[in-house]
């Protein structure tokens, strides 16, 4: 952890990165100013983009005045002429209901500023889970993270991804079972994706938290039924299973299903290709979970949470680049976690940094005449697997690193007291 406060490697990008060999304290001295400049620039630039997701949220919330029309409302994107429906559980509409009483420009501004504050809070939680406290370094990370593809998408389109990540991060950090379970359950009630975090709590044997998260989620359904009636059933039985609802093959969809669709040239649905891909990822994720600790008391909490969330992103039918906000905690963990000094950690950090800063999926999408079309040249299709490929590389590195650590520990234990490893190997020869 000393590297976190003593070396320039803490700064990830742009304004936050220092030249190798300079002490980070020079940057920490101006960290608040760097964050302010980066945040203002991010918000100002985003004002030139229509906050599409926020329009959908506001329309969905307002539709509760007539619950039967909840899944009939949609926002027409004027830039592309595309109709975008409200695709969240009824409980999300309840949470978002007050937004339509506020001037939209004010909601958009507050939402974007809130996303930035959320990124900072997530970085601080990462630090606390790793046992450090460094507010100015967190400011540097936030200043840089605002220019990575997942966060750019959250600020620009005013999406909810960072807020949901914050709920899950705080749930993982909190020791209070009821609060952790409540946060995950409410998050799943707003959008189903945080539900995967329940596997994390099962894995670390926080049974009460896992159980209460399920109870809290069911409570959101019960409240939704009181308010929206059979719209709850409609959402689960009809709406989310509707063919053509999502453009699976879009380059922005960095799940296995999206990547496989682009390689095949069509959406194969739950095909053998998808089952094998998710199965391999699941096995590798289990191995990575094992690698990060054999007992809850000695487990790398942040690394373990990241393994679960990365698996969820690949297994989900749709994981837009804006959903991949978990790459920010991953970058923090790779650079400052307990294995940051191990071979390969810095390579992975740079690989993720370059891919997300260059916004590779976005660049690939620009090559398409019709950005929603699945068919494309083979080299563009395979390049579109960049997030899944790097995720497999990350999980594989975790496993390989654990094996190397255990092997070194076994060799060290086998060497007699007072004898060096080199001497032991020489004697053996």
Q: What length is written for the chain? A: 429
What local confidence, expressed as pLDDT, does residue 418 receive?
Answer: 54
pLDDT band at 296 (very low <50, low <70, confident <90, very high): low
Question: Over 60: is that where the pLDDT of 100 sits?
Answer: yes
| 269 Rama sector, left if φ>0, alpha if ψ -120 to 50, beta otherwise | left
Show the tokens assigned to 347: 């390579």
What local confidence, expressed as pLDDT, does residue 24 receive?
Answer: 63
Residue 154 to residue 146: CA distance in whole angstroms? 9
Question: Over 60: is that where the pLDDT of 20 sits?
Answer: no
Greater pLDDT, 15 or 324: 324
- Which are the contacts of 227, defined by CB distance < 8 A and separation ≥ 6? 64, 67, 90, 94
- Tell me the per-residue pLDDT of 44-80, one tens digit each, with 9 for 90 and over: 999 999 999 999 999 999 999 888 888 888 888 777 7
- Which are the contacts of 411, defined by CB distance < 8 A and separation ≥ 6? 421
Q: What is the mean pLDDT of residues 155-161?
A: 95
What local confidence, expressed as pLDDT, does residue 5 receive?
Answer: 38
Buried b (16+ CB within 10 A) or exposed e, 171-184: bbbbeebeebbbbb
Question: Over 60: is that where the pLDDT of 427 sits?
Answer: no
Residue 196 to residue 3: CA distance in whole angstroms? 32
What local confidence, expressed as pLDDT, does residue 361 receive?
Answer: 93
| 3-class DSSP string for the chain | CHHHHHCHHHCCCHHHCCCCCCCCHHHHCCHHHHHHHHHHHHHHHHCCCCCHHHHHHHHHHHHHHCHHHCCCCEEEECCCCEEEECCCCHHHHHHHHHHHHCCHHHHHHHHHHHHHHHHHHHHHHHHHHCCCCCHHHHHHHHHHHCCCHHHHHHHHHCCCHHHHHHHHHHHHHCCCHHHHHHHHHHHHHHCCHHHHHHHHHHHCCCHHHHHHHHHHHHHHHHHHHHHHCCHHHHHHHHHCCCCCCCCCCCCCECCHHHHHHHHHCCCCCCCHHHHHHHHHHHHHHHHHHHHCCCCHHHCCHHHHHHHHHHHHHHHCCCCEHHHHHHHHHHHHHHHHCCCCCCCCHHHHHHHHHHHHHHCHHHHHHHCCCCCCCCCCCHHHHHHCCHHHHHHHHHHHHHHHHHHHHHHHHHHHHHCCCCCCHHHHHHHHC
Compute the C-alpha angle 225/89/329, nearest 5°: 140
pLDDT band at 165 (very low <50, low <70, confident <90, very high): very high
What local confidence, expressed as pLDDT, does residue 256 receive?
Answer: 96
Q: What is the mean pLDDT of residues 205-215?
A: 96
What local confidence, expressed as pLDDT, does residue 184 receive?
Answer: 97
- Tell me the per-residue pLDDT of 223-273, one tens digit each, with 9 for 90 and over: 999 888 888 877 877 666 665 666 788 899 999 999 999 999 888 888 899
pLDDT band at 159 (very low <50, low <70, confident <90, very high): very high
Q: How far is CA 16 from CA 10, 77, 115, 323, 334, in A?
A: 8, 35, 19, 23, 17
Q: How far is CA 26 from CA 11, 37, 137, 168, in A?
A: 12, 17, 11, 33
- Which are the contacts of 304, defined by CB distance < 8 A and separation ≥ 6? 200, 203, 204, 289, 292, 293
- Tell me the per-residue pLDDT of 236-248, one tens digit each, with 9 for 90 and over: 776 666 656 667 8
Compute the C-alpha angle 405/329/352, nearest 5°: 80
Residue 153 to residue 14: CA distance in whole angstroms? 18
Residue 187 to residue 145: CA distance in whole angstroms? 23
What local confidence, expressed as pLDDT, does residue 18 receive?
Answer: 43
Question: Over 90: is that where the pLDDT of 209 sits?
Answer: yes
Q: What is the mean pLDDT of residues 138-151?
A: 95
Residue 381 to residue 375: CA distance in whole angstroms? 8
Percent of the chain with pLDDT strictly greater than 90: 65
What local confidence, expressed as pLDDT, does residue 169 receive?
Answer: 97
Residue 198 to residue 105: CA distance in whole angstroms? 36
Compute the C-alpha angle 153/116/20, nearest 5°: 90
- Tell me the per-residue pLDDT of 113-130, one tens digit each, with 9 for 90 and over: 999 999 999 999 999 999
- Tell me the per-residue pLDDT of 312-364, one tens digit each, with 9 for 90 and over: 999 999 999 999 999 999 999 999 999 999 999 999 999 999 999 999 999 99
Compute the C-alpha angle 387/172/60, nearest 5°: 70
What local confidence, expressed as pLDDT, does residue 68 receive?
Answer: 84
Residue 188 to residue 226: CA distance in whole angstroms? 18
């Amino acid at each position: 952890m000393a590297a976190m406060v003593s070396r320039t490697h803490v700064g990830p990008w742009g304004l936050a990165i220092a030249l190798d060999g300079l002490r980070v304290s020079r940057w920490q001295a101006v960290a608040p100013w760097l964050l302010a400049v980066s945040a203002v620039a991010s918000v100002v630039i985003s004002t030139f983009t229509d906050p599409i997701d926020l329009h959908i949220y506001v329309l969905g919330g307002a539709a509760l005045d007539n619950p039967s029309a909840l899944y009939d409302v949609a926002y027409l994107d004027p830039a592309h002429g595309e109709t975008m429906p409200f695709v969240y559980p009824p409980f999300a509409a309840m949470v978002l209901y007050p937004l339509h009483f506020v001037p939209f420009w004010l909601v958009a501004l507050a939402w974007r500023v809130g996303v930035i504050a959320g990124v900072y809070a997530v970085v601080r939680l990462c630090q606390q889970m790793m046992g450090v406290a460094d507010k100015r370094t967190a400011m540097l990370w936030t200043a840089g993270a605002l220019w990575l593809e997942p966060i750019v998408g959250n600020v620009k389109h005013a999406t909810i991804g960072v807020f949901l990540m914050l709920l899950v991060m705080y749930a993982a950090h909190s020791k209070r079972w009821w609060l952790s379970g409540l946060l995950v359950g409410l998050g799943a009630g707003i959008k189903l994706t945080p539900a995967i975090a329940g596997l994390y709590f099962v894995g670390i044997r926080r049974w009460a938290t896992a159980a209460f998260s399920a109870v809290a989620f069911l409570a959101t359904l019960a409240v939704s039924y009181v308010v929206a009636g059979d719209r709850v059933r409609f959402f689960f039985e009809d709406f989310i299973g509707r063919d053509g609802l999502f453009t699976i093959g879009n380059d922005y969809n960095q799940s296995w299903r999206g990547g496989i669709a682009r390689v095949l040239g069509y959406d194969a649905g739950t095909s053998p290709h998808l089952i094998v891909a998710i199965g391999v990822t699941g096995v590798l994720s289990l191995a990575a979970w094992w690698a990060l600790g054999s007992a809850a008391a000695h487990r790398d909490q942040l690394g373990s949470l990241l393994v679960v969330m990365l698996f969820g992103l690949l297994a989900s039918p749709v994981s837009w680049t804006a959903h991949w906000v978990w790459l920010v905690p991953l970058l923090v963990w790779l650079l400052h976690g307990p294995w940051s000094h191990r071979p390969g950690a810095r390579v992975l950090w740079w690989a993720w940094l370059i891919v997300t800063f260059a916004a590779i999926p976005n660049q690939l999408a620009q090559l398409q005449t019709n950005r929603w079309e699945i068919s494309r040249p083979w080299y563009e299709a395979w390049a579109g697997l960049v997030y899944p490929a790097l995720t497999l590389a990350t999980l594989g590195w975790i496993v390989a690193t654990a094996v190397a650590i255990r092997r070194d520990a076994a060799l060290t234990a086998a060497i007699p007291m007072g004898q060096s490893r080199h001497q032991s190997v020489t004697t053996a020869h």
